[in-house]
């Protein structure tokens, strides 16, 4: 779990960098609609970085594997959902117009996020050590 949390900490820092780049560096390069898509990618990445940290803390407190599975699902969701949105939203700037094939990848990332939340919920429900 420590390795996941180290990766997640790096992803948290990267989220700040990507958000700043989107707010300042991308505006002259891509359309307003694609700026909004890019912002969605940053927001979902940030929210799920926090979710992974939560799962990590819960795993440390309980040892319940559901929280570890949830962390992996959230990581996969960041890669597929946010990653595909970053690439799709910056096609104008990069000239990589063949990336439209990534469109179907985005919902798989969403399913990964949902899986992570379900695993977290199941871990909390089933865990006897957590009494709050």
Q: What is the pLDDT of residue 130?
A: 66
- Residue 64 in domain: yes
- Residue 89 in domain: yes
Q: What is the DSSP letter of 103?
A: T
Q: What is the pLDDT of residue 24?
A: 85
pLDDT digits (tens, 9 = 90+) for 6-25: 889 999 999 999 999 988 88
Distance CA 5, CA 12 (A): 10
- Residue 14 in domain: yes
Q: What is the pLDDT of residue 30?
A: 86
- Give every CB contact of residue 79 below 8 A, 6+ residues apart in sequence: 109
- Residue 52 in domain: yes
112 is in which domain, residue-wise? 2-126
When divided into structural domains, the chain yields a total of 1
- Residue 50 in domain: yes
Whole-structure pTM value: 0.89
User: How many percent of the chain have pLDDT more than 90?
Assistant: 62
Distance CA 76, CA 79 (A): 5
- Residue 76 in domain: yes
- Residue 131 in domain: no
Distance CA 1, CA 72 (A): 10
Tell me the average pLDDT of the chain.
90
- Residue 132 in domain: no
Structure tokens at 44: 């979902």
Q: Reply yes or no on whether the pLDDT at 115 is more than 80.
A: yes
List helix spans (H) across 25-104.
32-62, 65-77, 83-89, 91-94
Q: What is the pLDDT of residue 131?
A: 65
pLDDT digits (tens, 9 = 90+) for 55-70: 999 999 899 999 999 9
């Amino acid at each position: 779990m420590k390795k996941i949390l180290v990766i997640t900490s790096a992803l948290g820092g990267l989220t700040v960098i990507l958000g700043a780049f989107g707010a300042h560096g991308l505006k002259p390069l891509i359309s307003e609609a694609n700026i909004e898509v890019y912002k969605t990618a940053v927001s979902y990445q940030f929210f799920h970085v926090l979710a992974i940290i939560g799962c990590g803390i819960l795993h440390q407190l309980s040892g319940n594997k559901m929280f570890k599975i949830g962390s992996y699902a959230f990581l996969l969701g960041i890669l597929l959902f946010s990653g595909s949105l970053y690439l799709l939203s910056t096609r104008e700037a990069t000239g990589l117009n063949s990336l439209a094939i990534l469109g179907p990848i985005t919902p798989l990332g969403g399913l990964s996020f949902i899986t992570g939340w379900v695993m977290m919920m199941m871990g909390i429900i089933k865990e006897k050590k957590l009494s709050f």
